[in-house]
């Protein structure tokens, strides 16, 4: 009889340990899954009508030279919307107004071969991505180099955000797709914020 009680206590203890371990493993899996960063991908179409640069720092042909500061704006679209030539009409309006998901503002400096670049680093910039229509509600900013090479990704730092992205830090990747009808750039952006 005493042996049976000991056996039952031992089995009961073992079952308790298995249950605690299973609950712990599930909790850890839930926490690990919850901490996975949200990857955000979208396309950007620059409206070249809103590209303003330092007219005092230019090549003889009027293109921006190394050190020319600039600011420009454009439209955010769902990833895969753009190829190398669409997204903005020749007059600067969005080609797909019903698909616009936000606004893009980019400021920085043309560097190296600047407006004459066909490859390599040509811009150092801060980019501001406004998601939705409410100014400042949900944004992410990035900082870093931009490449003139079509189809080649470059990493940039995520430096902050607002709304659900208020503690965003991490890395982004930017790929130049080509030039659109306004002669502005089309880019694909992948944001990988740390949570």
Greater pLDDT, 99 or 90: 99
> pLDDT tens across 105-114, in order?
999 999 999 9
pLDDT of 120 reads 98
> pLDDT tens across 8-56, in order?
565 555 555 555 455 554 544 444 455 566 899 999 999 999 999 999 9
**Cα-based angle 40, 46, 52 (whole degrees, multiple of 5):** 130
Q: What is the mean pLDDT of the chain?
A: 88
Q: What is the mean pLDDT of residues 160-187?
A: 95
Select the CATH number that applies to the domain covering 40-194 from these four: 2.40.480.10, 1.20.950.20, 3.20.20.70, 3.40.50.1110: 2.40.480.10
pLDDT of 144 reads 98
């Amino acid at each position: 009889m005493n042996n049976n009680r000991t056996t039952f206590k031992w089995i009961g203890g073992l079952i308790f340990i298995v249950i605690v371990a299973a609950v712990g493993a599930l909790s850890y899996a839930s926490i690990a899954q919850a901490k996975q960063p949200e990857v955000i991908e979208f396309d950007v179409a620059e409206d070249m009508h809103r590209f303003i640069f330092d007219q005092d720092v230019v090549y003889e042909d009027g293109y921006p030279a190394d050190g020319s500061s600039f600011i420009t704006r454009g439209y955010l679209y769902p990833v895969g919307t753009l190829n190398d030539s669409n997204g903005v009409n020749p007059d600067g309006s969005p080609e797909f107004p019903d698909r616009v998901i936000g606004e893009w503002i980019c400021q920085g400096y043309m560097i190296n071969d600047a407006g004459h670049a066909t490859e390599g680093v040509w811009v150092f910039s801060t980019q501001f991505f406004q998601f939705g229509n409410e100014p400042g509600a949900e944004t992410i900013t990035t900082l870093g180099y931009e490449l003139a090479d079509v189809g080649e990704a470059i990493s940039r730092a995520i430096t902050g955000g607002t709304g659900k992205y208020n503690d965003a830090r991490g890395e982004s990747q930017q790929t130049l797709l080509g030039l659109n009808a306004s002669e502005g750039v089309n880019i694909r952006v992948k944001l990988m914020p740390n949570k």
